[in-house]
Every structure is written in structure tokens, then in C-alpha cells.
Structure 1
């Protein structure tokens, strides 16, 4: 394991060095928050894919592949489809707005009250997305290096907090490009081929797993629909993803490079599901499926190669964690505690504060899929209807929007407490409640603010 530790230590050192380089480029607020709005196709594609594919997508999809088979792919498929739609149809108008947050769009359409209410939801969402990836980082490091869980969280999550705080979006961009390359090589070109070889090839995988493992309906179509309602729409309205859209040089870059990133997500989901299926053959008696990824890495790969794949997994998790962390701090400084004249120290202080809170929450939550579901239930259940109405329905009003947010949020929380985080009811009923309140109260109010023309 000494060689693996050396490899991981080199990776962590490289991330901190890239964070320092990003700090030198983050000379003002716009550079810190959106990298100067000047990323080209390759950097935009890499950073967009790295943002979406994190701890839940990697560890969670491997776990779904272990339990359900190839249908575990649907989680990443929902995320990737959301990326494609966002970049094809919404990126150009979003870039013209020259804003920093999702909630600023709501303020332009409704009232400052709508911005404040939605910012609280967006802050909660971003924090929980970051927690899922830090939790995954801790799980992997705990199993592979036999560390106490709290120490694994502090080390892995602390690196993310450090480079995100000092350099903002420029640090995230530089680290994401390296992380994108590392996880592509480590997972697609190293771990999957070795796992299939250890199983005995595709033929042996087909023989040793039940036929249901090769069905794309193995998760159940109800669960697949829920994934799309939660993750597809969550990607379309999430602050962490929108903030990456704002970094594109122009609409053409966002359209083509962003769509390529979405297609990459689909391929990544298939790879992780297949790794989970191979892990089920190699480690059939695994006590906790949440540890399937770490266990197969530890049990299948030789020294040195194992370190590369661990670095690849950490790359996937850290990229999403850093994106969500910066999204949380941006929501805090731009929406909840605005102060445009303050220096960069204020943005860095907010990022550090959000990072400390994330590390604390990661000690408490214990399931990456459940944490991800919680985050997206809150976001989509409360924010999807008001945001779509702001763009598509001229008669939507502030009263309807704020009521839809609060009603959807309360309904989602109620059904998650009653039926559990794995249930489909929280997202179904929260969307119905939110849509009903928006429709009835907007029609009753009748004082719509016209959407301002953009220059």
C-alpha cells in the first residue's frame, strides 16, 4: 500500500498546486466566481463533465450496478440527459443575462422576495451535493487505507475546501481538467478492463449473473422515472451546473462542448454499472453494497495500479464537491448576504465557512444515494415550477412563485419523513403541490411582472 499512498499523496499535492495557480488568476469577483466567462470548448467540456460526475455518480452507480445490474446506468443517464438539454436549449439565453446565480433570474421575473426564498433552497441543495461527494471520498479512503472515517473526511474533504477557497472557479477549472483525464483513464481504461479480465470476460459475466442483471428495467420503470424527475430537472436548474454554464466563452461553446459532456456522462454510467456487476461476481458476499467500489479496487487491483484508480475515484468526487461548495458560497454572497463592493476576502471567507459546514454534515450522513436524493428532492420539488413559469408563463406572479416554493418544499420534506428518502412520493406530490399553488394563486393574483427584455 505504500506505493498507493505515494500515488494518492502526489495527486493531492497536484490538486493543491493547481489551486494555488488558480488563486493567481482569480484577481477579481468575476474571475473568482465564473472564471472571467471565457472558457473554450475543451476546458468547458472537461469541467462540465467533471462537475456532474462525482461521488454519487461513481460510488452510487457502482453500488446500483452491484445490486441491480446494468440498469444502474440510469442515474448517470438522467444527469447526462439534463446536461445535453441545458446546453442545447438554455445556455445561450442564460449567457446573455450576465448573472451569477439561478435565483437572480427569479428576481428579474418576480420580486426580490422570490430571490431570497429560492436562495435558501439553493444553498441547502448545494451543501448536500457537496456532502454526498465528501462522504464518498471518506468512504473510499476509509476502506482502502483503513483510516477512521472522521479522519478520511477531514483529509479528503479538507483538500477540496482548501483549493476551492483560495482560487474559486479558476482553481476548480484547472483541477477539473486534470481530474477529468485521471478518472477517464483510471475507471474506463484501467479498472473496467481488469475487472472483466478477473471475471473471465464478458461471457463469464453473462453466465455468473442472473438475466435480470442485464435488463435496463432492473431498477423498475417507476424508479427510472423518478430519477429523471429528480436528476434530469435538478441538473437543468442547479446552481452548481448553471455556474459552469456562465464560464463559457459564448453560446456556441456551451452548445457543442456541453452536449459532448452530457454524452460522456452516459458512457461513464455504463462503465460504472459494469464495474458494479463485475464486483458482484468477484465479491458476492459483500456485506455493505455501498462499499462495492472501494472493495473491488482493494481486492482486484495490484499495488501502484490501485493508487491510480483511487486517484481517479477521488478526482470524480472532488470535482463535484468543489463545484457544489463554490455554488453554496456564491449563493451566500450574491443572494443572501450581497455586498458587491467587498473584496475577494469575503468570497473566500464564505467558501471556507461553507466548507467547514460540509465537513461537519459529512460526519452525520451515511448514504451517498440518499444524500443525493434528499438534495434533489428539495431542489426540484420547490424550484422547478417557479423557474419554468418564470421563463414560459407570462401570468406567473410573485405570490404564486413564493407559495409554490414553500409548498413544494414542505410537501417534499413531509413525504421524505413519512415514506423515506428512497420513496417516489416526495417528488411526485411536491411537484403537484407546487404546480397547483402556482396556477391557482397566480390566476387569483393577476399582477404578473413582465419579463424584462434583454439587451
Structure 2
């Protein structure tokens, strides 16, 4: 089934009209606000309520790449991938109760700044570079990869040309409306994404004949969150041990996810906002995974599971509506790419160039460096994306999770021990951030490219990537403890963080988290009874 052949001139016209309108709106907003925006707009002035925090965190997490990847894994394995949404509540709770009070108590704007207060400037500098690598791999290249697959499906182009086209559209957005285009139009896109996904879910259920029919027409294991230990795709032990490594990094230590909590009015609002995010994560399964399962029932002979979402769109939606869905997906992808390039440029320019290389740089010089880094980042991301595209034997969802699984261990180790164990030294933390990261990424390169598993040929060198991530985490944990206890730390930095004034958890926060925990236990019991 060729998706390109399912589209006509009206759909492509809708795509073009939507993108031009979006750029026009952004440019209009930019002109309307040409006097500039004060700093509190970007720092939120510690004014965010729980509702803003919840929607911002969830909105940062979801997007077209997640939608396409989750539909793909839903098509091949059912609801088991829901663990990556529902199991997350434990680590969002960890953020709310353990990390958020400490972050807010330290009055920091960024997580590198927090670790700088804990361990010193050297750790803050290393974390800046770590953030650059993370943005290149997890936010920019993976988004380009998912976007390239989408453009391939829509326009029938090769991956390299699809990626170049996406970057060109991103540049067009920036030139025509700047990043304000993204800021002022992202809400519209998120609302449309949610509405479209709900419509697709209901139309799909109607075509299948209802939820009961959907369950009866799929294998029993499609409705189990925990699969047997010998399952080839997602054994329960791999999820139980491996996801927490990724969960701690993503929900508790990644700047993009945590910054909404950093902008909270107070600790209570931050904790309630995190709770709201965890509730919103529940709808990920019906919004993103269920369409893939329905596609398995309606179109069981699909050659490429990564095309599950777009197949549902092209087969179930009328002309024009197909074009609107594609336009929203492309525009939201461009939004993420623009934001990623901007974050990359900002971190390098301000935390590396201005702080370490040229502290007296003029404003004009800083802007030039920022533009140069943006271009270099775009070029590097193309090569990384093409390398990701060369990974064999994994679908889109598994590619996402495996790459993140090799990024996560060093950061999870440093933050868990740095926050929870007072004896952790700067030398130990820096060693994990430098050598631990090189070790973890090297294992990832060997796993994904050099010596990949090949089940079809009967070659299995490695354990499941989630278990491998867990083993790396355990190894680095042993190393950070050993260095902290056995190696003298010559750092003269004094830890100035004081947690004595952390407020107790309010009764309302306890109640809402208690209800959520009970709800999640109920969902896990229900989806393991098949």
C-alpha cells in the first residue's frame, strides 16, 4: 500500500496553505511584539501554576515522532509499549517528591547550574557539553529521523532528501517568522494533534466494530503490559529493570522536561503539576498506541509497521482532512527541529563560548557564533540521522528507545548519587560524565552498528537493549561509589546546597498522588489479565 498514491492535489494544497498561514501568523505576532519581551517571559518568573506545568511537560513529551513510533509498535506488539507512558508515573513521582523540592530550593534556572552548585564549575561545564550531545542525538537527530520517515511516506523521497527538505522548511520558518512562529503557534498544533488523534481513534473503533471486537480480533498478548521473560521483543524483566534508567534521566534530569517545574510558583504547584502530567500520560495509550492496534486488524498485511499511523489517516479520512493531518505533523516536526537547533546554539554559545572561550565577546559576535553553531548543528544532525537510518532489525519505536537507553545511564547515575548521597565527590561525578558517557555511547555504537544482533540469521550477541542499559547503569554506579570512597578529591568547591528548609508534602499532593497510584495499579492489573 503506497501512501503517496493515496493523496491528491487537494491534500498537498492544504499542506501548503497551512504552512504558509502558520508562518504568516508567526510573522504577525513577531511584528506585534517588536518591542521585545522581557526576561521574565522566558524564565516564567517562577509564576507557573500546576495546569501550565502539566500541559507543558506533556506537550514537550508528545509529538509527531512519538505518534508515528507508538502506532508502529502498537501494530507489531500491542499495548506493551504503554509501559513507556504508564510506568513513567513512578519517575514523575520521584521528580515531584525528591528532585523538585531540591531544584526549587536551590533557586536555579538550569540543571547544569544546580550540579555546578553541588560539585563546582567543572561539573557545570561538562554538563553543558553533555547537554549538547543529548540535544544532537535525542531531540534533533531522532526527530529528523522520524520526520524523514514521514516525508518519505508522503512524498516518496529517499531519507537524505527528506531530511534536507525538513531542514529547509525549518530554515524557511525561521527566516519568515523567527522562533516566535513556533512560540505562538505551537498551542494550535498541539490541540489539532490531540483532536485528530481522538477522531482517528473513534473512526477506527467504529470501523473495527467496537473495543470488544478489537480485542477479539487481536492476539491475547496484545493486551498484556508484561510479556513473558522469554519474549523476543519486550520481556517483562527488561522493562522492569531497564526503563527506570531511562525514566530517571528523562523525567528527573533532562532540562527540556524539568524546566516547567523549575518555573513553578512554589514547590506545591510543581508537585501538583508533575501529578497532572502523570494523569495526562494515561491517555498516551488510546491516543498513540491504539491506532496502531486497529491498523493491525484493518490492514494486517502492511509491509512497514512504521506506516501504520499514516495508513489509518489515508484510508479512514476524507480528502482534505488527510492534508490537514500531514500539515499539522510536518509543522510540529519543524517546531521541534527549530527549538532543538536553537537550544543547541544557546547552550554552546552561552555556556561554552562566552563562559570559557571569549568572555568579552560583543553582542554582534555572540549572534554570529550562534548562527554558525546552528549551521554546524544542522550539518552534524544530517549525518547522525543517516547513521540512525542505517540501523537494521529495529522498528522506529525500538530505534528511539535504544538510542535513549544508551544516553541515559551516566546522567541517571550522577544525579541520583549527587542528590541522594552526600559522599559523592566532584571527581567521581566528572569521571562518570566524561568516561561513563564515552563508555555508554561506545557500547551503543557497537550494539546498533558494528556488531548488531541479527535474529533472522540466528546471531544474538547482546541482551535486550533495556537490560544492557541497566547493566551499564549498575556498572557506573559501582564506579562512582568506588571513586568517591577510594580516590582523593582535590576539588576545593564547597557544597552550598541546603535542604533543611524543604517543606513537607501537603495533604492535597499526597491525596492526588495516592489516587493516581491506585489508578495505575488498577490499569496494570486489568492489562495483565488476558
After superposition, give the CA deviation of every residue in 1:380-427 in whole Å (9 maximum; x if it has no partner): 211111222222222211111122223432432343344448623431
Q: 2:148 aligns with which of 125, 138, 144?
A: 138
- Residue in structure 2 matching 1:260, options 253, 256, 276: 276
Partner of 1:63: 72
Q: CA deviation at 1:352?
A: 5.1
* Separation in 2, partners of 1:176, 1:44: 16
Greater radius of gyration (CA)? 2
Matching residue of 2:238? 223
Residue 40 of structure 1, CA deviation: 5.1
RMSD over equivalenced CA pairs, Å: 3.4
Distance 1:124 1:162 in 2: 25
Answer yes or no: is the 8 Å Cα contact 2:53–2:273 preserved in 1: yes
> C-alpha distance in 2, partners of 1:103/1:275?
39
Secondary structure class of the residue paired with 1:302 = coil
1:316-331 counterparts in 2 under 5 A? 317-318=333-334, 320-331=336-347
Deviations 1:126-172 (A, max 9, x none): 1112221222222123213434444433343444456579755x655
> Structure 1 residues 87 and 141 mapped into 2: Cα distance closer, same or farther (>3 Å)?
farther
Aligned residues of 2:403 and 2:444 also touching (Cα < 8 A): no
Q: Per the alignment, do residues 441 and 228 of structure 1 end up closer, same or farther by CA in structure 2, a change over 3 Å counting?
A: closer
Quote the Cα distance in structure 2 between the aligned partners of 1:14 and 1:38.
31
Q: Distance in 2 between matches of 1:351 and 1:247?
A: 26
Corresponding position of 1:174: 184
Q: Secondary structure at the residue paired with 2:282?
A: helix
**Contact 1:408 1:433 (8 Å CA) reproduced:** no
- The structure-2 alpha-carbon separation of the partners of 1:55 and 1:140, relative to structure 1 and needing over 3 Å to count, comes to same
- 1:50 aligned residue (59, 62, 65): 59
Distance (whole Å) between structure 1 residues aligned to residue 145 and residue 35 of structure 2: 28
CA distance in 2 between partners of 1:87 and 1:161 (Å)? 37
2:47, 2:268 → 1: CA distance? Answer: 12
The runs of at least 4 consecutive aligned structure 1 residues that moved more than 6 Å come to none
Corresponding residue to 1:385 among 403, 407, 413:
413
Q: Deviation per CA, 1:6-50, whole angstroms, max 9, x where unpaired?
A: 333343234434544368479479468646655555554433222
Map 1:306-321 to 2 at 5 A: 306-314=322-330, 317-318=333-334, 320-321=336-337
Q: Structure 1 pair 86/56, CA: closer, same or farther in 2 (3 Å)?
A: farther
Per-residue Cα deviation, 1:405-455 (whole angstroms, up to 9, x for no partner): 234324323433444486234312221222112111111235475421469
Q: Which residue of 2 aligns with 1:76?
A: 85
Q: CA deviation at 1:279?
A: 0.8
- Count of equivalent residues: 453
Per the alignment, do residues 228 and 438 of structure 1 end up closer, same or farther by CA in structure 2, a change over 3 Å counting? closer
On the 8 A contact 1:400/1:442 being kept in 2, the answer is yes
Compared CA separation, residues 255 and 329, structure 1 to 2 (3 A):
farther
Answering whether residue 279 of structure 2 is matched by residue 279 of structure 1, we say no
Which residue of structure 1 aligns with residue 479 of structure 2? 437
SS at match of 1:275: helix
The structure with the largest helix share of the pair is 1
CA distance in 2, matches of 1:11, 1:361: 30
Say if 2:367 is the partner of 1:345.
yes
Which deviates the most, 135-144 or 340-349? 340-349
2:119 equivalent in structure 1 = 110
Paired residue for 1:91, among 97, 100, 112?
A: 100
Q: TM-score, normalised by structure 2?
A: 0.75
Name the stretch that deviates more: 313-322 or 433-442: 313-322
Matched with 1:424 is: 466
Q: Which residue of 1 aligns with 2:381?
A: 358
The answer on whether the counterparts of 2:249 and 2:408 sit within 8 Å (CA) in structure 1 is yes
Structure 1 unaligned spans of 5+: none
Contact in 2 for aligned 1:56/1:372 (Cα 8 Å): no
Structure 2: any 5+ residue segments left out of the alignment?
Answer: 1-7, 228-233, 390-394, 453-463, 502-530
| CA shift digits 1:342-398 (9 cap, x unpaired) | 537358524454344334533442264355335423432111112222222222111
Number of the residue aligned with 2:9: 2
- Report deviation, 1:281: 1.2
